[in-house]
Structures are given as C-alpha cells and as structure tokens.
Structure 1
C-alpha cells in the first residue's frame, strides 16, 4: 500500500474553502475590515487626542469614581509607567485593540453562556467546539484570519476573539448554573418577569464567577498581543517582536512590562465597573 494514501493534510481541504470564501464574500470581509478599522481608529483618536498627562488624570478620576481612590492610584501608576517607558503610542494602540477584542468576545460569549446554562443540549454541543478552540495553538488562528483579511489589525482581532471566547463562555455557563434555586423560585413566586429575574437576581448572584471569566478573557487577549505583532497589528506586540528580532533586551522588557500594566488597568477598571453596576442594580430604589 502506498503510504501517501494514509497521510492526512487538513490544509488540502481547508485552503479551497478559504479561497472560495475570498472569491464569494470579499465585499462582506471588506465591510467588516472597514468597520473594525473605523472603531479602532475612533478609540485610538480619543485616547491620543489629549496629552498623556490629561488622559492619565481622566482615567484615574473615572477609576476612582467607579471603585475608590486605590483603583485610581493603580490606574494612574499603570498608565504612568506606559508613558515613562516611552511606549505611550504603542500602549494606546494595544489598549484600543484589546478593548475591542474583549468587548466582542464578551458580546458573543455572554448570551451563549446564558443559553447554554438553560439548555443542556446546547451546552453539550458547544463543549467539543470550545475544547478545540482552547487546545489549538493560538498562532494557528492567525493563518486563516490573514488569508481572509490580509495583514493588519483585523486578523489580530479575529484571532483574539476566537481565543478569548471559550473561557468567558464556559465561566458564564457555570456562573448561571450555580445561581441558587431558592432565589429563582423566590423571584417567580413574587411574579417577577424573566427579564427582571435575570437582571435583579441571576446576574448579581453570578457576578463573582463572571468576573473571573472576564479576567481570563482579558489576560488571554493580551497574550495574543505579542502574536498579533507578527501580522502587522502594531502596538506593544510589535515592540516585543522588534526587541526579539534585534536582540534588544531593554526594549522587549519595557514592552512586556507595559503589557502587564495594561492588563492590570483593564482588569481592575472592568471589575470595579461591574461590581459598582451590580451594587446599584440590587440596591433598593
């Protein structure tokens, strides 16, 4: 028997499908590219419109309003490090990239997680898909994304979304399945509609686990930043790549620490915002 018959090459089956998508859905992909680029450009322009010192003060004030002065100090220190390290522009590009990626990931994972917690068949059908999404090396997602959307920030966002959705979806499903039954029965007993039960009972009860899912989504999205630098996404990932290719340890270390600073900023601010909103939602009128 010819040993070549036993060989299996997924690319020989997937590449024609990608070519077909490019040939038949190019206008759709172009529209998606323009939309994402427009959103990214708007966020970057807003972050870079004012001087760095003004942005740092504004972000610190918002963080303080959301969760107190300690979070304000953390936000100011995180952005201050990005500025003092000479990577302000790259940090703002990464902040915009991760903000869009995490927002889209949560927008996809949160409703699917709620549905999966309610319908066992959907949860079972999603489980193998999520397993594959989490076990395939993340840089593999960049290959079809680049083939469809070319080089730039759009394939980086698409790959980041694919990598960030599974943990948020899994933990959302777990969070809503762990809501105590007596709370749900109480809401039904007083005649509350399903929307009120979801907003006033389920989401507040599930918030601690949801915050863990959001934290994992942010961290995994930032883990893709370095890989995104390989496809021309810019930002701190490009600086890390530049430090690696030029063997500049100082640049690579500064860019890596700036990524950590952005991660701390996004994690603390998002957590403070969600906890504050949940508190207001459950507080008596």
Structure 2
C-alpha cells in the first residue's frame, strides 16, 4: 500500500539536522556520560568483590531484613562463582547513571505536571509514547547521536525508564491532602516552603515507588543496550542467543534476575519506610 502520510521522513530529517548541527554538543554529552559510567565502573571494580557484597548485604539487612540480606549474599556469591562479576558491575554502573539522569529530569517534571493541569495534559501523551514505543527504536537516534558504546545504551534507557517516575511523582503531589496545604498556607508558608516542607515529605513514598519502577525499567533495557556494545550482562545474553549457547544464555539471564530482585527489594523497602 502506498504511503499517504510519511511521518518517518520528517523524523529522519529532524534527526539528521540535529546530528549535523549539534555534533559538538553530542560529543560533550558523550564524553561526560562515558566518563560518569566508567567512573562508577572503576569504583565498583576497584573494590574487592567481597567488600561490595558485604556492603549490599548490610544495606539489605537494615532495609529489607534477614531474608533479604541472605538472598543478597547468596545471589551475589552465585554471580561471582558463575564468572559474571565484572559484567554485573558494568550493568550496575549503567543502571545507576541512567537512573540518576532519569530522576533528575523526571521528578521536577512530575512536580510541574502536578502543579499545572495544562502541563499535565501535554506530558501525559508524551509519556504514553515513551513507554509504548518499542525500545529498539530508541537505539537508532542514540547511535546516530553518540555512536555505539555505553552512552547510547544509557540514552535509550533514560527515555524508556523516565515515565514511571514522572507519573508517580505527579500522583504523589496531587494526593497530598488540600487541608494540610491550606493549613500551611494559613501559617504564612510560601509556595516553595509548602513544596519542600509539606508536599514532598508526604509524597515521598509514592515518589520512591517511582524510583523503584524506574530502576526496574532500566534493568529491562540491559539486553537491548547490549546490542550496541554497551557491555555488561546484556552482551552475555546476546552472545548466548547468537551462539545458541543455552548455558551461557541461562546463566547471564539468571544474573540479571538476581540483580533485579536485589535492587527491587531494597528500593521497595525504601518506599515503604514511614
């Protein structure tokens, strides 16, 4: 069937224009982003594996409990014994940087959307597009802007992982009881003070639920990011698929699952803290 409306052509023209005219900006972002990811990797790999395991086990013990700490210890030791420790730390570094970038943008945007109904109406369909567009599509402009490597993986991950944080931040602010806000305003609090001292503390649990979902969405991009040489467990999973190596595919996939459960339990516990 012949095309009547060629939206893709205009999107391609826009991406090509950005690539041609803002190459210097993308180079700066690439250098800074790669530096941040590699910096986290260096720290995680510089520390002996048993120190990293001990730190995460202690964190899980205080935030989740004995069961969470035991699972964290067994899971991370199993990852080390399977030979995926370096790849797991690379994946963890990518997730940390991607999550930080996503939250730095998502939380202020969520607050703005909660305060301004017009902004909320504009943002909602954009978030729907970001969540429902096949994640592979984001790799195309990412590679054009930043070439292959770690940063394009982080770029695609940020786009895919941002929406839950924006939605839940806006929801948390909107659910703050209006009588509490009016009481604070009656005592002479400014809008900034109300946001900082009333709305954000009361919305913390919901916002942290958004952080949890953002981390989980970032983890779901691990394998896809591996397609553009982002490294980590994603490349091992793809290597197993390409070579029809069932053992390698299962073990690397299991490492992703273990890391996901550990991060999920810890961030859920943070969100449930009263």
Other structure's SS at 2:221 match: helix
1:11-26 correspondence runs (5 A): 11-26=8-23
1:140-155 correspondence runs (5 A): 140-155=137-152
Tell me, in whole angstroms, the C-alpha distance in 2 between the residues paired with 1:204 and 1:81: 38
Per-residue deviation, residues 186-226 of structure 1 (Å, max 9, x unmatched): 22233334344323322232233223322221111111111
Q: Could you say if the C-alpha distance between residues 81 and 199 of structure 1 is closer, same or farther in structure 2, counting changes exceeding 3 Å? A: farther
Q: Which residue of 2 aligns with 1:216?
A: 213
Contact kept? 2:205, 2:271, Cα under 8 Å: no
Give every structure 1 segment of 4 or more consecutive aligned residues whose post-TM-superposition deviation is greater than 6 Å. Answer: none
Q: Which residue of 2 aligns with 1:163?
A: 160
Per-residue deviation, residues 120-142 of structure 1 (Å, max 9, x unmatched): 01001112211211121111111
Q: Could you say if the C-alpha distance between residues 55 and 181 of structure 1 is closer, same or farther in structure 2, counting changes exceeding 3 Å? A: same
Q: Which residue of 1 aligns with 2:95?
A: 98
Is 1:54 aligned to 2:51, yes or no? yes
Q: Which of residues 245, 250, 254 in structure 1 aligns to 2:247?
A: 250
Is 1:124 aligned to 2:121, yes or no? yes
Q: Which residue of 1 aligns with 2:231?
A: 234
Tell me, in whole angstroms, the C-alpha distance in 2 between the residues paired with 1:275 and 1:200: 19
TM-score (norm 2): 0.91
Worse-superposed segment, 108-117 or 77-86:
77-86
Tell me, in whole angstroms, the C-alpha distance in 2 between the residues paired with 1:63 and 1:195: 34
Gaps of at least 5 residues in structure 2 are: none
Contact kept? 2:168, 2:210, Cα under 8 Å: yes
TM-score (norm 1): 0.88
Q: Which residue of 2 aligns with 1:192?
A: 189
What is the CA-CA distance between 1:177 and the residue it aligns to? 0.7
Is 1:115 aligned to 2:112, yes or no? yes
Contact kept? 1:78, 1:264, Cα under 8 Å: no
Is 1:36 aligned to 2:33, yes or no? yes
Q: Which residue of 2 aligns with 1:268?
A: 265
| Aligned-residue RMSD, C-alpha | 2.0
